[in-house]
Chain A
Amino acid sequence: MSRAHDSGLRAAAPTAVRSPEEETRRLQALVDQAASFDLAAVAGSSSGGGTVRGPDGRGVGFATRLELRRFRIGLAPIAAGGPVRATNTASELVGHLELDWRMIPWSLFARPDREPEPTTFDPSCSQRFAMQRGTFFLGSEGDGFESFGAGRTFPHWVAGRPRLTAAAVGTFTRGFGRLEGLEGNFTLCGELNAERGFEGHVMVRIVDPENRLRTDQPLPPSPSAPDPSPDVTYLTWVARKGQGDAWENYWSYTPEGEPRGVNIPVELKRVEADLTASGPRGLTVRNLQTGAVVGKEIGFGREVARRTERNGGERMPFQFEGVSEYELYDAAGTAVGAITANFLEGRSIQMELPGAAGQPALRFGYFGVIVGGKGCFSGGQGMIYGTAGSVFAPPPGEHVITNLYVARLYDPERRFRAAVTGGGA
C-alpha cells in the first residue's frame, strides 16, 4: 500500500543546500530511524478465549493475555518460475500482550476514552472491532507501551472449513520503561475464534531517533518454538522508491479530469527484521536489513476523508485506502507471480521527523485483503498489511518511504513455506 494524499500538505522546506539526491538520502535515513520488528502472538495454555459477554450473555469481545514471541520471516531466494517461499520461525518469549477487543457497529467512530455499546460477535460476517486496550510488555525490564486501535474481521473459507481472519491497526497511547516518550504504531493480523481468542502476527514500528532500541549487529539465535500457525505462511518485503523518473508518483484523474488519487510505483526489496529480549540492554531491535530487489509494486491510493484541523493525530488519524499489485521476480528478473490487494483500512499520523523539521512526515499502518493472484499466487487467499514511515508531498513533490509489508497467506499445502535450516531464529 503506497501512501497518498490529495490535499493539505506543505511543500518540503529546504534546510540546507543539498542536491535533490542528497536530500532524499538524508530524509530516507531519518525516516529509517525506527525500530521495526515482528512478533508472534500466541494464546497461552491457560488463557482461554477470554470471551467478553454482553448483558444478554452473548459474546461482544475478547479480553486475553497473549504470549509474544520473537518471530522471523525469511524470504527465500526465488527460483525460476517460483514459487515464492519463506521461513517463518517463532522462538524466544519476548513479552506478553494484554488485549481487550470489543466488536463495534460499522458507523461507530472508535475512541480510547469511550466504551462502545455491546455489539454481538458474529463470525459469519465481517465486523469492525475496537482494540480498546492493548498493553504490550516487552522484555523483562518493564518496557512496553499502551495502545489503542481498530480493525475488522474477514470470514474466509480455507480447505473446506471456515476461518475468521482479523486485522487491525493500532497506535501507541503511552510508552513506558525504555519506550517512554516514544511514538509508534503496529499492525496485527491473525485469526479469531471463540475458543482461543486472537492469535497471529504483530508488526511493530517504533520511532527511535535516539537509538534507544536499535543495533546493526546480528542478534543471537534462540531455540525455535512450535510453529504457531502451520497452515499459514507469512512473506515479507520492504518497499522503497527506486531511482529515476520511472519511480515518480503522479496523479490519477477521473474521466472528467478531476484528480482522484495518486499512482505510486515502488521497488520491493528483500528485508529482515529481528529483535531479542535477552540482549545486554534487554529489548534490542536490529535495524532492518535490506537486500536485493525482488519485485515491484504499482499502487493507487487516496485519502477517503478530507483533511481538517482536527484529524491527522493519534486520536483521529488520516484515513486512506488503495489498490496495489505486487509482482515478484526470480533472480533473473522474471515475474513469477503477482498479488492484487485492496487496502480497505489505512491510518496515518502526522509526525515531526527529528532532523527534518517541517517535512510532511507520516507514520502509518494499514491492512488489505488479497482479491486476486497471478502465477504462483493464483488462487491465493489472505491479507497484506504493514507499517511504514514516509515523507510525502503530493506529486510532483518529494516521496521518501520505507514500507514494511507482510503477506499472510493461507497455505494448508505449505506451498509458500521454506524449510528452516539451522534450527533457530
Chain B
Amino acid sequence: MSARPGAVTADLPDVNARTNPFPVVQHHLDQAHWLSLYAVPVPGHPEAAWLTGDGRDYFGIDGGYGLDVASRLHGFDACLMPPRTGGPRVRQAVGKAMGELSGRFLFGPEDLAWTPGREPPIRMYDPWRSQAFAMVDVDVRCGDGNDGFRGYGVGRTWPVSAGGQPVVLAGGVGDVTEGRGKLRGLEGTFVLNGELHDLGFEGSVTCRMIDPEGRLAARGEPPGTTQAPGVSPRSTFVVMRGEKRGPDVRTEYGPPPGPGLVSLITPAQMRAVDLRTFAPAREGVCSRMETGQVVAELMANVSLDILAPPGTSERPNTFTTHNRYRFVAEGGLDGEIGEAGEIGEIEVEVPLGRSFGLRFPSLPSQPAMRYGGVGPVVVGRGRLAGAVGLIGVNSAIGVAPHALSMLNVLQIVDPDGRFRVGTRSRAHDA
C-alpha cells in the first residue's frame, strides 16, 4: 500500500466523506463528559502495601515487580490563561480530595500485550529505565464512593532528567470495564499522565465517559477550588480541548509509516478549557466544561491500521501519533496566526495508544472510535525550549467525516512553577 499526501487510494476509505453531516457527527461525539482529577499518593500506603494476596509470597513486596497504587483523587482546576508572549500560563489548583484511585501497576515486557483479567509476564521495576506496565484491578471511586468504575489498562514509564533531577514520568490508557452508581452502564476511557514517586502515582487522571443521557452534567456552578494543603505538583498541566476548525478542514493521508499502517495528517485547533469535576452531596460526581479561546494549533500525524476491525474492550486497536502543538499568544487567536503571535512549540510522540470502536444508536452506519494515548515531549521550542513532560490524550473521533472531540493534557515538569500563575482564588483576588 502506498499513498502520496492528500491522495485517497482505492484501498483506503475517504476519511473526509460525509456518511452523516459533520455537525451531526460532532454533536454525537460530544455526548460525553470528562472527569478531570488529580491523583496524590495516599501517605503511608506503601508501609502496608503488597502486590499479591498472600503475604507469604515475597514476590508481592511492593515496589519490586509492581506498585500497589493508592491515590486520593482531588478536584483539579488547571485552566490555561490567555497566553502572552512570556509563554503559556496555567492557573492551577489541586482541590480537596473527592475520591480514590487504586490498582496494581505490574511491570511487563516491552511488547506487553493487552490482557484484561491476566497478569503480565513479570519484570522488575527499574526507575531509571522506560518500562511497560499493566494497570490491573483499577478502581476509581468518586464522591461518597458509590460512583466509580473498575478498569484495566496499559502504561509506560519515561524516566527523565529535569534540571538534573530524575523524574519517573508515567502514563497509561485504560478501558472502563464496569461502571457503578452514576457511571453504571457507561462506556469510557481513562488516561493517566503524571509521575511515579514514593511507590505511588501522582498526576492527572481523565475519564471520558460516553454520556448521551447527560448523567454527569453538572446542574450547578462548581465550587471554588482551594489548594489542598500539602499537595504541590511538580508539574504544570495544560488542559486543552481539540476540534477541527470547521467541517471543511480535511484530514489527509501521509506517507505510509509501515506495512499495514496509514498516516493520517490531522490539523486541529486547541482551545483552553475550564474543566471542573466535583461531587455535590446529593448529586454525585459531575462535570462541567467551558471552552475558551484557541491557544494552539495542532498538527497530528497518526499512524494506525485504518482497515482493522473496530477495537474492543478485549482487543483494542493500537495507534501512535506525533503531535506538534504551536502555541500562540493573545492577539494571534481565532484568526490568522502570525509569526508575532507564536510563543512556542511542543512536539510529542505518543507510542502508547489504544482505540475502541464507538457506535451511536441513532447513527448506526457512522464509524467512530474513542481512544487514549500517552507519550513524552520530545522537542520544545521558543518559550517552551527544553520542556520535559508527557501528553495524555483522551478523545473520540468520527471516521468519514473525520470530526474530532479531543481532550489533551500536556504535562510539563515545572518544579519552579515557571508556567503557573497561581490558583483561581489568587487570580480573582488580583
Contact = CB atoms under 8 A, between A and B. Distances in A.
Interface stretch (B20-28, B124-132, B243-251): B124-132
A313 B63 CA distance: 31
Contacts of B58: 252, 263-265, 298-300, 323-325
Given A126-B159, A323-B124, A371-B125, A155 B61 contact: no
A111 interface: no
Contacts of B59: 252, 260-261, 263, 300, 323
Contact of B165 (A126, A154, A162): A162
A252 B57 contact: yes
Contacts of B65: 323
A88 to B, nearest CB: 25
A156 interface: yes
B122 interface: yes
Interface string B98-121: 000000000000000000001100
Given A260-B122, A323-B58, A371 B63 contact: yes
B175 interface: no
B181 interface: no
Contacts of B122: 254, 260
A257 interface: no
B261 interface: no
Most buried by A among B59, B119, B159, B165: B59
For A125, A252, A323, the residue with the greatest tally of chain B CB atoms inside 10 Å of its CB is A323
B166 A324 contact: no
Contact of A300 (B64, B125, B165): B64
A254 B128 contact: no
Contacts of A124: 161, 164
A156 B62 CA distance: 21
Interface in B145-159: 159
A126, A152, A372 — most chain B CB neighbours (10 Å) = A372
Interface in B49-99: 56-59, 61-65
B208 to A, nearest CB: 31
A263 B124 contact: no
A174 interface: no
Nearest to B47: A374
B64 A323 contact: yes
B417 interface: no
A193 to B, nearest CB: 12
Q: Specify which of B47, B61, B165 lies most central, judged by the most chain A CB atoms within 10 Å of its CB.
A: B61
B46 interface: yes
A344 B59 CA distance: 15
Shortest Cβ-Cβ A-B pairs, 10 listed: A323-B64, A126-B128, A162-B164, A124-B161, A300-B58, A371-B63, A252-B59, A157-B165, A300-B59, A263-B58
Given A155-B164, A322-B124, A325-B61, 10 more contacts: A125-B161, A155-B161, A252-B59, A260-B122, A300-B57, A340-B63, A342-B63, A343-B124, A369-B127, A372-B198
Interface of A: 124-126, 152, 154-157, 161-162, 252-255, 260-261, 263-265, 298-300, 321-325, 340, 342-344, 369, 371-372, 374
20 contacts: A155-B128, A155-B164, A162-B164, A252-B57, A253-B57, A255-B118, A261-B59, A263-B59, A265-B58, A298-B58, A323-B58, A323-B59, A323-B61, A323-B124, A325-B61, A340-B61, A344-B124, A371-B127, A372-B62, A372-B199
